[in-house]
Amino acid sequence: MKIAMLTYSVKPRGGVVHALEVAEALSRRGHEVTLMALARDDEALFRPPGVPLHLVRHVPLDAPFDERIQRMMDVYADGLRPVLGGYDVVHAQDCLSANAALAVRDGGGVDHVIRTVHHVDDFTSPSLVACQDRSILAPDRVLCVSLPWVERLAEDFGVRAELVRNGVDPERYRPAHSAAERAQARIEAGLGDRFAVMTVGGIEPRKGSLTLLDGFARLRRLVPDRDPLLLVAGGMTLFDYRHERDRFAARAVMLGVNQHVRVLGPLEPDVMERLFRAADAFAFPSVKEGFGLAALEALASDLPVVASDLDVFDGFLVNHESALLVPPGDGAALGRALARLAADPALAARLRAGGRAIVPEYSWEAAAAAHERAYEAFLGARVG
């Protein structure tokens, strides 16, 4: 098949990573796949792709947020019109790229759009509410990467979605090969002998960032001898979360932990991978996720996970076997769970072993095969 895989950004957010990895895995299975993304003139994809890449360039508009979003969709659609013809599959991974592709479809440029809905956001911006609703209701086929979201789309939107797979690359996200490699990674990260708690996703409400701070403060009180350190990596998104970042900074000062929190921002892929190998625990107190790819990357890196007890995690996180699960929004419970890991090496070892048993089930090759089956069924039904 000739496949166009569309995403809204070149930054390593979960949906962008998913788009790239599935595209590469489909290419390895013999398909002709082009990854397409929207990017500013000064941006490049977060890592070199293993498939052809087509970037639609845009200049950020100095205007209110809703106008900027509409402009991005218009520019993306204009950039896609000359290149989308002739593809067997046009597959968008987010609401922005889906709306751009739908505009091309409605103008006769392509005959269908497939969309993966990773999760449904609680948008308040009128442009994003409209973008999201249209991207769920208007595509010709909808996919999801977790069963709870398949069920929610049926209940909330009346949309029948098909379940596909997510994955992880164990060559990149892996345990340290030796104690010396881990020690070097810790030196590079400046961790010393401190108990280092890592999270990925930046500072935003959906990631439970304020709960994370509350839990970290509790952790420092419970195990002061380990001198815990919090590392917040990632966080590149379309949305402006400056108010949440301000609240985060103020809460860190109020809790007396600001000197023990490092907000690292987006990292180069190799730096992120080494950080996974250097840290002691992974905290993931999200209140909403589509799948939780970063938690799977932590398991693959042999990093014990403490996460919110969300239904989307049920497929690969089992409480006390592959993770410690705590109620969403409960900073005290999060802190106690992290303190258990800090004080109990046997518990950490058991969780690492449980994670290692799960990771082989989530290859990108399996994800590509699931997408291939979904494409073939969709195309076959249209022909029939």
Instruction: Using alpha carbons, select from 305, 289, 292 the residue that is nearest to residue 356.
Output: 305
Q: CA-CA distance, 284 to 1, in Å (whole number)?
A: 37
Let me know: does 222 contact 336? Beta carbons within 8 Å: yes
Q: What is the pLDDT of residue 238?
A: 56
307 shares its domain with 369:
no
- Furthest C-alpha separation in the chain: 67
100 shares its domain with 89:
yes
266 shares its domain with 371:
no
Q: What is the pLDDT of residue 56?
A: 98
Q: By residue range, what is the domain housing residue 285?
A: 179-361
298 shares its domain with 213:
yes
Q: Is residue 172 domain-resident? A: no
250 shares its domain with 121:
no
Let me know: does 214 contact 335? Beta carbons within 8 Å: yes
Q: CA-CA distance, 370 to 166, in Å (whole number)?
A: 9
**Number of domains the chain is built from:** 2
Q: What is the pLDDT of residue 227?
A: 98
Overall pTM > 0.85: yes
Mean pLDDT, 10 residues at a time, over the chain (384 residues)?
97 93 98 97 96 96 88 96 96 97 97 96 86 97 97 98 96 97 98 98 91 98 98 74 86 96 94 98 96 96 98 93 97 98 97 96 97 97 80
Q: What is the pLDDT of residue 126?
A: 87
141 shares its domain with 231:
no
Instruction: Using alpha carbons, select from 260, 206, 203 the residue that is nearest to residue 230.
Output: 260
153 shares its domain with 207:
no
Q: CA-CA distance, 11 to 45, in Å (whole number)?
A: 6
| DSSP conformational letter for 237 | -
Q: Is residue 174 domain-resident? A: no
Instruction: Using alpha carbons, select from 329, 335, 330, 307 the residue that is nearest to residue 319.
Output: 307
CA 178 to chain centre: 28
Q: Is residue 271 domain-resident? A: yes
Q: What is the pLDDT of residue 166?
A: 95
52 shares its domain with 22:
yes
Q: CA-CA distance, 87 to 35, in Å (whole number)?
A: 12
In degrees and rounded to multiples of 5, residue 299 shows phi and psi of: -60, -45
Q: What is the pLDDT of residue 19?
A: 98
310 shares its domain with 189:
yes
226 shares its domain with 98:
no
The domain that contains 41 carries what CATH number? 3.40.50.2000
Q: CA-CA distance, 197 to 225, in Å (whole number)?
A: 15
Q: Is residue 173 domain-resident? A: no
Q: Are strands 114-116 and 89-92 parallel, antiparallel or unpaired?
A: parallel
Q: Is residue 383 domain-resident? A: no
Two tokens, residue 11: 């930054």
Q: CA-CA distance, 98 to 124, in Å (whole number)?
A: 19
Q: Helix (H, G, I), strand (E, B), or coil: what is residue 236?
A: coil
299 shares its domain with 371:
no
206 shares its domain with 353:
yes
Two tokens, residue 46: 């977060």
